[in-house]
Amino acid sequence: MTMTKTSLPAHMKCVVLLGVDFDGPCHEVGRGIAPLGIHSWGRYSAKRGVPRHLDMCQRLGVPCTFFVPGYDAELYPEVVKSIDRNGCEVAAHGYLHEAWDMEGEEEERLLRKTDDILSNLLGKPVLGWRSPSGRKSAKTMQVLRSMGYIYDSSDKDYDLPYRWRFTNAAGESDTIIELPNNTYSLDDFPFYKFSYTPPSEVLDQWLAEFDAIYNGDRFFVLTVHPRSGWGSGTPSRTQVFEEVIRHIQKYEGVHFFSSAEFARWCQQNPELLEEVANV
Amino acid sequence: MKTNFPWPEGASNAVAVTVNFDAESYDLLSTTPDRLYGRFSYGRYGVRAGLPRLLDVLAKNEVRSTFFVTGVDAQRHANALQRISEAGHEVASRGASMKRPDAAQELTWLRDGIDAVSQATGKPVLGYRSPDNELTPRTLYHLLELGLIYDSTFQDDDAPYRFALSAGKLAEIPISFALGDAQGFSARHSHQRVLQIWRDETEALLAADALIPLTLHLRGDFGSSRAARIAMLDTYFQTLRARSNAPFVTCADLARWTLETVEVPEEGDPYEVHADTLANTVYRGDLAVKPI
């Protein structure tokens, strides 16, 4: 295990990863709630939010990773295919957006189930996973690696990408790229679910985050949701998402990646990445 | 990205102002009829102090709106409902009371609520909004059986659409809590901050050719009928008028348009596709970490 801090090359003034967690009706259905009335926010994702976010990505010319639960992909296969067709990445995000505190075999069964759904739908392998709810176990990385995934984007423990080293299911030393995020600051739901912050204030918040990161660790990971309610699929909140990106695009040396593209870059530049042994 | 919805009058948007009446009905969720005093009198404030002010500001800005009223409130405030109706607003149903019954009683409960409102106004009731914003798998079918033409409880679209069910077609006029008073005021935001949310939301909805579904409450706590909030509402309407010529419509007008216009998108039963999965899942609580 090395203890060298990850250091991005000088020409990469800042790496930006945009993520959209699809979170359709599975978010409610997985908890036993019918997606009717107030609980219909997830229905917005496929109808309006995802097409609006794809349209935005295309207009701005930025890559984006959509983390899609398996159940939503079964409900809306054409919408998920359109993500791939538009040049954006589809990654995995649980089956029914589980709270991910399950034991033993259930975790592996669910990871494989969603992987099968997404890879069969797209005709290509899935390369990454983000935990629904943010929970993860020591076993998660073993299963992800056994399915050929190259990155996880669930941990909250650092401001830079790094490499986990761990013992895989076959008993061998293995690695996976970790792309950490923060669901308190660079995520939409805390502002729209808890504090009901005006969208224009959320914009100010995220611009302040970017400016601090641009002058600091230079790794910016923003997560939004295409649903209505506490998500960012609606016109006002998509506009905030767009204005953040437009702001970032004004800065010199900013590199936008999909999560998989950046994980590949990390794999190709192993000497620049901090390696951390599994705890 | 625009909605492509064929709005009435060739406009780019429509504005549907709705008012959840929620007077004593709401207080009765927390107390008994003999204790509707003190903190449990904010509902009564809305009718005594708030309603005249709200009707004035709506009239001043030539806004037609839709009031959703429970059967309990309709019986207590029949005169108020007549005034609302005579002022040109629509009065629709919010159920018999704010507490929904067991699914087996839902049809009777819906009928009681609708009957109470139509008895107070002397007009048929055409639409429904659930008092706790929840529906059962049978609600939409019950509404059709009771002769209603629309529901306005879902929050899943930027424009109206039609449910095509085995029992017939029902219009859905979707709303958004983000463009309303209750969330912001119950979080104790200032008037200024709630108005900022409305402006942010409305500007973007105008640009997206979307429905502008402003959802208000009459109450004196998280509602909009206090004088300063009425002034805020006045400012909002004036700003909107200056920005757009979108017509202010009642939900019933929009529902008729939605049912009659071929190009409006149609959806199937929103429950059926999930029924098998729901039979095997249990409520596991909220996924998010609550603020400390």
What is the C-alpha to C-alpha distance for residues A67 and A157, in angstroms, rounded to an integer? 20
- Domain residues for the domain of B29 are 10-279
What is A14-277's CATH superfamily?
Glycoside hydrolase/deacetylase (3.20.20.370)
Task: Identify whether B256 is part of a domain.
Answer: yes
Asked, for residue B2, whether it belongs to a domain, the answer is no
Q: Which of A6, A1, A2 is CA-nearest to residue A157?
A: A6
Compute CA A250 distance to the chain's CA centroid, rounded to the nearest angstrom.
24
Q: Touching check for B204 and chain A: CB below 8 Å?
A: yes
Q: Looking at the domain assignment, is residue B245 inside a domain?
A: yes
**Element containing residue A91 per DSSP (H, E):** strand A89-92
Residues 61-90 of B with CB under 8 A from A: none
List, for residues B202-230, the tens digit of each pLDDT value.
999 999 999 999 999 999 999 999 999 99
Q: Quick check: B273 contacting A, CB < 8 Å? A: yes
Question: Does any domain span residue B291?
Answer: no
DSSP, res B49: I
Count of C-beta atoms within a 10 Å radius of residue A11: 8
B78 in a structural domain = yes
What mean pLDDT comes out for the span A171-194? 96
Q: Examine residue B288 and state whether it is found in any structural domain, yes or no.
A: no
- Taking residues A10-28, report their average pLDDT: 97
Answer whether residue B17 is part of any domain.
Answer: yes
Number of domains in chain B: 1
Sign of the C-alpha dihedral computed for residues B261, B265, B268 and B269 taken in this order: negative
Q: Do A38 and A86 contact (CB within 8 A), yes or no?
A: no
Q: How far apart are the first and last CA of chain A?
A: 12
In the stretch 140-199 of chain A, residues with CB closer than 8 A to chain B read: 189, 192-196, 198-199
Q: Mutate which of A38, A193, A203 to disrupt the B interface (most B C-beta within 10 Å)? A: A38
Q: CATH no. for residue B201?
A: 3.20.20.370
Residue A3 clears pLDDT 70, i.e. is over it: no
The percentage of residues in chain A with a pLDDT greater than 70, rounded to a whole number, is: 99
pTM beyond cutoff 0.95:
yes
- Is residue B239 domain-resident? yes
Are A45 and A255 in contact by the 8 Å Cβ rule? The answer is no
ipTM field: 0.96
